[in-house]
């Protein structure tokens, strides 16, 4: 018989990368007014859905929990995840979390994951390969360290069997096959699958699904451990890079290749 899975997918509400993005306020935090579910997290959610659907889905008792940490707006990332197919949603939200760096974020998420695993620990924690805003890729590894779990990052394929996972990872110079015992923290790349879009049925079904809101008190974390106070790094200054301006644009009239090389020579780039 196939095992029943409990998977927690970490989803983040990030500024849409289609538009210009900004830092704001004294702490130079990211302006989240035009935000969406991070594109890279959709691959993690899809991977979770495929793994659980292969084992009979929700009807068989499999769970895909979408967990997002962030201000009020972050609940939209959870809602979108429910529309796509997550079985339940959790929004970790507390004013004290604002300004958390990767270390403080991983501390809060680790506590939330332990809280959600109080009855039965999750088999798998899935994430995207990076957030498209912070772009540090630190949180999955920090989370694995805090939870004492193996980490498998940048998985381009993922299979589970008998409490063990097998993943493929494509590096620049070599491709690896990776094995780890469950539970584990796994981040997946945008090569692993083609994420589905929410359909009408999914959108209607999501309205009946539960979103649990957790505060720091609920997960047993002290406000001083997170936010700016609990962070181990501080941004001191931020400056918008002057926008690039267009230079010389020519239309090819038969000698553009030569003009191009002349430009490179003038810039001492040859």
Instruction: State which of positions 142-201 bind other proteins (CB under 8 A).
Output: 142, 144-146, 148-154, 166-167, 170-181, 184, 190-191
Q: Select the residue interacting with other proteins from 136, 199, 215, 217 (CB under 8 A).
A: 136
C-alpha–C-alpha distance, residues 103 and 35, integer Å: 23
Tell me the C-alpha distance between 15 and 21, whole Å. 7
- In the window 203-232, what residues touch other proteins (CB under 8 A)? 231-232
Smallest gap from residue 229 Cβ to other proteins (A) = 10
Query: Contacts with other proteins in 233-262 (CB under 8 A)?
Result: 233-241, 244-252, 255-261
Q: Which of 37, 40, 113, 122 binds other proteins (CB under 8 A)?
A: 40
- Closest separation between CB of residue 27 and other proteins, Å? 11
Q: Of residues 23, 54, 60, 204, which one binds other proteins by CB under 8 A?
A: 23
Instruction: Count the site residues for other proteins by CB under 8 A.
Output: 87
Q: 260 in helix, strand or coil? A: helix
With CA atoms as reference, report the closest residue to 77 among 171, 146, 14, 145: 14
Q: Where are the beta strands (DSSP E) in 6-74?
A: 6-10, 13-15, 23-24, 29-30, 35-37, 63-69
For the bound state, the minimum distance from the C-beta of residue 110 to other proteins, rounded and expressed in Å, comes to 9
Q: Is-contact 29 71, C-beta < 8 A?
A: no
Out of 1, 18, 26, 210, point to the residue binding other proteins (CB under 8 A): 18
Nearer Cβ to other proteins (9/206) = 9
Q: Would you call 26 helix, strand, or coil by DSSP?
A: coil
DSSP category for residue 72: G
| DSSP state letter for 221 | -
Closest CA to 92 of 80, 101, 77: 77
Residues 71-130 that bind other proteins (CB under 8 A): 101-103, 106, 129
């Amino acid at each position: 018989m196939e095992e029943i899975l409990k998977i927690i997918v970490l989803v983040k509400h990030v500024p849409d990368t289609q538009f210009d993005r900004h830092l704001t306020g004294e702490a130079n935090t990211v302006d989240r007014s035009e935000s969406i579910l991070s594109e890279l997290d959709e691959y993690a959610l899809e991977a979770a859905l495929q793994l659980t659907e292969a084992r009979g889905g929700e009807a068989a008792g499999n769970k895909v929990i979408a967990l997002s940490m962030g201000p009020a707006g972050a609940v939209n990332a959870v809602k979108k995840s429910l529309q796509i197919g997550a079985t339940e949603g959790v929004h970790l939200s507390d004013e004290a979390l604002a300004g958390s760096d990767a270390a403080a974020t991983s501390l809060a998420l680790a506590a939330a994951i332990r809280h959600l695993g109080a009855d039965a620990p999750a088999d798998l924690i899935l994430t995207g390969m990076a957030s498209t805003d912070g772009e540090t890729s630190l949180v999955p590894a920090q989370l694995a360290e805090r939870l004492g779990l193996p980490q498998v990052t940048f998985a381009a394929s993922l299979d589970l069997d008998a409490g063990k996972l097998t993943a493929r990872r494509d590096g620049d110079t070599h491709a690896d096959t990776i094995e780890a015992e469950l539970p584990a923290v796994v981040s997946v790349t945008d090569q692993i699958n083609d994420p589905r879009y929410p359909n009408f049925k999914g959108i209607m079904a999501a309205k009946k699904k539960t979103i649990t809101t957790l505060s720091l008190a609920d997960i047993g974390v002290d406000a001083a451990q997170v936010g700016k106070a609990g962070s181990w790094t501080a941004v001191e200054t931020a400056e918008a890079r002057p926008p690039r301006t267009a230079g010389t644009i020519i239309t090819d009239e038969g000698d553009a290749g030569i003009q191009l090389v002349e430009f490179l020579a003038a810039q001492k780039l040859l």
